[in-house]
Chain A
Amino acid sequence: MKVALSWLKEFIDLGERSPESIAMDLESIGHEVEAIDVGGLDRVVVGKIVAVDPHPNADRLRVVTVDTGDLVRTIVCGAPNVAVGQLVPVALPGAQLPNGLEIVPRAIRGVESQGMICAEDELGLGDNHEGILVLPETAAIGQPFHPTGIEAVLDIAVTPNRGDALSYHGLARDLAARWRRPITRIFPTVTGHAPKPDVQIEAQDLCDRYTARFISNIQIRDLPDVFARRLEATGHGHYHPVVDLTNYVMEELGVPLHAFDAEKVQLPIIVRRAIDGESIRLLDGKTYPLDHTMLVIADQTGPIALAGIMGGFKTAVSKSTRQIILESAHFLPTSIRKTRMKLKLTTDASYRFERHTDPNMCIPASDRVAQLVKDHLGGQPGELTDKPAATTPEKQIIPFDSTAISRRIGQTIPPEEVTDILQRLGFIMAQKTVTVPSWRPDITVWEDLSEEVARIAGYEQIPRQRLPKGNSTSNEDDRRFRAVEWLKDQLVQAGWTEHIGTSFLSPSELAALNMLETSVIRLANPVTEEAAYLRSTLKVSLLKAAAKNPVFPEISLFEIGTIFQTAAKGVIEEVTAIGLLWTGKKTHPEIIGDKIDQTDVVAAGDLRHFKIRRPLRYVELTIEKLLSEVNLPEQLTFVVNPTLAQPLRMPSRFQPAMRDVAFVGPDAVDLVAIGQTLAGFPSIVDVELFDVYRGKGIPPGQQSAAFHLLLEHPDRTLTTDEIQGTMDRVTEYLMNEKLQIR
């Protein structure tokens, strides 16, 4: 919901509060502010001209010194009307003007210019290019430049339970409770004369209130500017002055209204379910099939509107409309939601009805539209039809216990304060119950009252409490979790690295591994075909990981994750499995040892599909099985180590190269220092000492050392020449250190 603050001011006094402070208050009472648009153009600020000097290399140009609050800048300007003391709009480097021009610092005829002083046309405000735009004295230096008429708009994400906050009135009401101020808006009634339209409600379970009135002798003309500006600021287009006014009042009061061209309606209006087989052409020009689950507004000829969602094409207002029937009704959320989902048609109206509107606002909203039409389009409002009748809807009464509310919040709040907060929110207080206002159907239990009190008092002021010491009990899940983590530690100590992949398989992966589609579970509504199947093995995930790392000579990866298999009779079994994938000489993983019989050589076809060019072995078993074969210690602990030795390095998107370098040198050689130096060579991003050896074949007092060097470039793959070039420098360096390269 977009809220223009100048409009909100008509409902509640905002005082001197800044947009940021109002946003903070809204957030602290439960309405998230996603963005604050203070209008103005990005990086265009108000500057004051401090000096004007001739340009040394150009007669028609001036060198202007401008104070923009953050800096005093030099700007080259060709306008004839620059003068010292003027307040002017300055586009700073980085600004993008409406005409497409991007501002960069540049030299103009030999003098550096750090921005641009703007004319009206450059700011998209008019056609004037005669000179720069001079601002009134009240403009503040350094502040964003605000063309007149644009002002702050807050973009509020209202939660689905607060349909009442989808209007200026509703938000003002909530702020009023927090600020202890009254709503300043009044709701004058508008009475009119007969005739009134004849209405019958046949589906009272879907629509429990329908009001309608004629408004006659309408003159179609332009509305004053303020309507267009406000509608635009809050995300509406403008269409037809009558429609614009209904949108305007919907934003103000939260009731979606609809105007029919009275001449095109064959009364009476019947609010009924559609009949299977009926259809309706709506305002969007499309024709929709209807069925008996959908609520329509109909006349003698058939459906004329899809109730609460969109009006019909045939009865729409147009330039020639002189008389309207104005509908202001209360439609129940469930059928509106089901219908709009079925027809895939979401509108501002359906959005509000789905979240509950206030039946007691139907008449004030109708009166407001009627007044506006009278004031601006000359129309004459008629008498209101209110069906089913002036019945008072059932009131929601819930238990009230101030002590229980305080206890739930965990703060001793005096009962008078609890009562006062609820009263300011519109609750009617009795000794042991409260009556819930008609605009809060989300309040159904006394616990809802504790949220109302806590949010208006402010969550921030609740003193924090700690949980007392508890009985730390274990359970089989907890032991299982710790056992798995202990197991991971054993694997890692033995040289294995943990991979975590996605739960999904793609059709090509299924095919590559010769898995039948019937053996895996397919999602009914996958995000993409690539993630349509639930994995029944960890193998694909690990093979994909292996394929990512062709330059590493040895890999030993494991993954522990859920696999989904179809057992007998369509029963789906979910099981935690462990998969291990490795290269190198091991014939089976140590942790599994000789307790598990099989070791799988990965099939050549599988390797080919994943573009892996070396042999791999793979084993998979259930975690249950593995845990049952391993000697778990009494005390299950796992390592906790949150910190990294150095900041995370993002690997290049492009394939790296791996080269090894080995040498023999004196024992005393500082291998760590050599490693650090190697890491500084061009393109070398990682250095790993993987072998140090003394003994057979190495002279006494000497050692043999070998490093893996990982080379990569952030923007591309390295060329063979580049790699060779770096390796040549590595060789040269090692030789200079008197080390013998092997």
Chain B
Amino acid sequence: MSGHLHPLTWTIRDCVRIFTAMDFSVVAGPELETVAYNFDRLNFPPDHPARDMQDTLWVNPGELMRTHTSNVQIRAMERFTPPVRMVVPGRVYRNENPDATHAIDFFQLEGFVVDRHISLAHLLGTLEDFAKQFFGKDTLVRFRPSYFPFTEPSLEMAVYFNQRWLELLGAGMIHPNVIREMGLDPAAWSGFAFGFGIDRFMAVRYGLADIRLSYSGDYRFLKQFPGSAKDNQ
């Protein structure tokens, strides 16, 4: 008899499948990270409220548990030359009280593109396509301006699901300071980046009200998820 795969795995696989079809490939990076890769080199100003936006778990003054999978942006560009299209699924950590919709450690998917002549219009189109492939072809999406230190312009994307607008994803054009940190000339190269909580996408897809159940190991929960094929990728 077949066993069962975790719903987070199913969700990550579906996201990776969608982006692979857009010529993205997977990259990885460490969970225990330096403050340089996690904040400084992503244009987070030192001593600035922007750092409060992501409450940090520290290991020692220079090292922390990564607060987002964006830490891999600079690392990846130290290994690869553009043009690139990359996705980074991985575990992240926040100094937050856990409850039904928040965990101390959870999963995020970061994606980024660096190429010539990338625009905000490309970002909107790519995200809209992703949302429609993940949630259904008639899915409505909405974008509004927002702020992240490592993108400019920045945005949040909301998806209309079960009669509500759900804000699910943050994104933006990669900030020129970050392009420079990648060792590239912002006059020649541009790009976009996006990130979202995989747990949230999983919860919406499967109708899971309390994400703590997915980490509990309760077999009554796990066994409801498939183990075997419909499609192969």
Given contacts A466-B129, A521-B59, contact A648 B25 (CB under 8 A): no
For B72, the closest partner residue in chain A by CB is A477
Does A524 reach chain B (CB closer than 8 Å)? yes
Given contacts A467-B126, A548-B217, contact A572 B146 (CB under 8 A): no
B residues in contact with A135, CB < 8 Å? none
Does B164 reach chain A (CB closer than 8 Å)? no
Residues B13 and A527 in contact, CB atoms below 8 Å apart: no
Residues B122 and A465 in contact, CB atoms below 8 Å apart: yes
The contact size tier of chain A is 35 or more
Count of chain B residues near A, Cβ 8 A: 108
User: What string of 1s and 0s marks CB contacts (under 8 Å) between A489-530 and chain B?
Assistant: 101111111111111100000000000000001011111000
Given contacts A485-B13, A640-B232, contact A161 B176 (CB under 8 A): no
Residues A498 and B104 in contact, CB atoms below 8 Å apart: no
Selected from B122, B147, B215, B232, the residue in CB contact (under 8 A) with A639 is: B232
Does B10 reach chain A (CB closer than 8 Å)? yes
Given contacts A545-B217, A557-B217, contact A524 B59 (CB under 8 A): yes
Residues B105 and A408 in contact, CB atoms below 8 Å apart: no
Q: Which of A74-82, A139-147, A239-247, A444-452 is found at the contact surface with chain B?
A: A444-452
Residues A523 and B48 in contact, CB atoms below 8 Å apart: no
B residues in contact with A485, CB < 8 Å? 9, 13
User: What string of 1s and 0s marks CB contacts (under 8 Å) between A443-483 and chain B?
Assistant: 00101101100110001101111110111111101101110
A residues in contact with B214, CB < 8 Å? 500
Does A200 reach chain B (CB closer than 8 Å)? no
A residues in contact with B221, CB < 8 Å? 651
Does B168 reach chain A (CB closer than 8 Å)? no
Residues A640 and B17 in contact, CB atoms below 8 Å apart: yes
Residues A494 and B3 in contact, CB atoms below 8 Å apart: yes
A residues in contact with B23, CB < 8 Å? 467, 469-472
Residues B224 and A524 in contact, CB atoms below 8 Å apart: no
Cα of A721 to Cα of B101 in the assembled complex, Å: 37
Does B22 reach chain A (CB closer than 8 Å)? yes
Chain A positions 651-680 with a Cβ under 8 Å from a chain B Cβ: 651, 656
Residues A525 and B95 in contact, CB atoms below 8 Å apart: yes
Question: What distance in Å separates the Cβ of A655 from its nearest Cβ neighbour in chain B?
Answer: 10
For A485, the closest partner residue in chain B by CB is B13
A residues in contact with B122, CB < 8 Å? 410, 465-467
Question: What distance in Å separates the Cβ of A481 from its nearest Cβ neighbour in chain B?
Answer: 4
Q: Which of A1-9, A25-33, A105-113, A368-376 is found at the contact surface with chain B?
A: A25-33
Residues A492 and B2 in contact, CB atoms below 8 Å apart: yes
Given contacts A337-B48, A504-B105, A641-B231, contact A527 B96 (CB under 8 A): yes
User: What string of 1s and 0s marks CB contacts (under 8 Å) between A570-606 and chain B?
Assistant: 0010100000000000000000000000000000000
Cα of A495 to Cα of B91 in the assembled complex, Å: 26
For B125, the closest partner residue in chain A by CB is A464
B residues in contact with A451, CB < 8 Å? 145, 152-154
Question: What distance in Å separates the Cβ of B118 from its nearest Cβ neighbour in chain A?
Answer: 8
Residues B215 and A502 in contact, CB atoms below 8 Å apart: yes
Cα of A501 to Cα of B212 in the assembled complex, Å: 10
B residues in contact with A685, CB < 8 Å? 220
Residues B224 and A648 in contact, CB atoms below 8 Å apart: yes
Question: What distance in Å separates the Cβ of B55 from its nearest Cβ neighbour in chain A?
Answer: 9
Residues B219 and A548 in contact, CB atoms below 8 Å apart: yes
Which among B9, B91, B190, B209 has the greatest number of chain A C-beta atoms within 10 A?
Answer: B9
Does B42 reach chain A (CB closer than 8 Å)? no
B residues in contact with A258, CB < 8 Å? none
Does A423 reach chain B (CB closer than 8 Å)? no
Does A649 reach chain B (CB closer than 8 Å)? yes
Residues B124 and A462 in contact, CB atoms below 8 Å apart: yes
Selected from B2, B48, B120, B208, the residue in CB contact (under 8 A) with A408 is: B120
Which among B14, B24, B60, B119 has the greatest number of chain A C-beta atoms within 10 A?
Answer: B119
Question: What distance in Å separates the Cβ of A340 from its nearest Cβ neighbour in chain B?
Answer: 11
For A442, the closest partner residue in chain B by CB is B147
Does B4 reach chain A (CB closer than 8 Å)? yes
Residues A459 and B22 in contact, CB atoms below 8 Å apart: no
Cα of A394 to Cα of B65 in the assembled complex, Å: 40
Selected from B9, B124, B226, the residue in CB contact (under 8 A) with A644 is: B226
For B227, the closest partner residue in chain A by CB is A492
Residues B213 and A478 in contact, CB atoms below 8 Å apart: no
Given contacts A160-B49, A549-B218, A650-B213, contact A498 B25 (CB under 8 A): no
Does B83 reach chain A (CB closer than 8 Å)? yes
Question: What distance in Å separates the Cβ of A220 from its nearest Cβ neighbour in chain B?
Answer: 36
Does A355 reach chain B (CB closer than 8 Å)? yes
Does A723 reach chain B (CB closer than 8 Å)? no
Does B36 reach chain A (CB closer than 8 Å)? no
Cα of A574 to Cα of B105 in the assembled complex, Å: 16
Does A690 reach chain B (CB closer than 8 Å)? yes
Given contacts A408-B120, A411-B121, A641-B226, contact A556 B3 (CB under 8 A): yes
Question: What distance in Å separates the Cβ of A175 from its nearest Cβ neighbour in chain B?
Answer: 14
For A452, the closest partner residue in chain B by CB is B153
Given contacts A460-B143, A463-B121, A504-B104, contact A488 B215 (CB under 8 A): no
List the 9 closest pairs (A to B, CB-CB), nearest first.
A545-B217, A410-B119, A410-B121, A470-B23, A30-B145, A451-B153, A159-B147, A464-B125, A651-B220
24 example contacts (A-B, Cβ-Cβ < 8 A) are as follows: A160-B52, A407-B117, A447-B152, A447-B153, A447-B175, A454-B153, A466-B125, A470-B22, A472-B25, A475-B79, A480-B28, A494-B3, A498-B5, A502-B103, A502-B105, A525-B95, A534-B65, A556-B3, A562-B91, A572-B59, A639-B13, A639-B230, A642-B11, A648-B206
List 13 additional contacts besides A160-B49, A464-B128, A478-B26; criterion CB under 8 Å: A30-B147, A334-B47, A410-B122, A447-B176, A464-B125, A465-B125, A467-B122, A475-B25, A492-B4, A499-B222, A548-B216, A640-B232, A641-B231
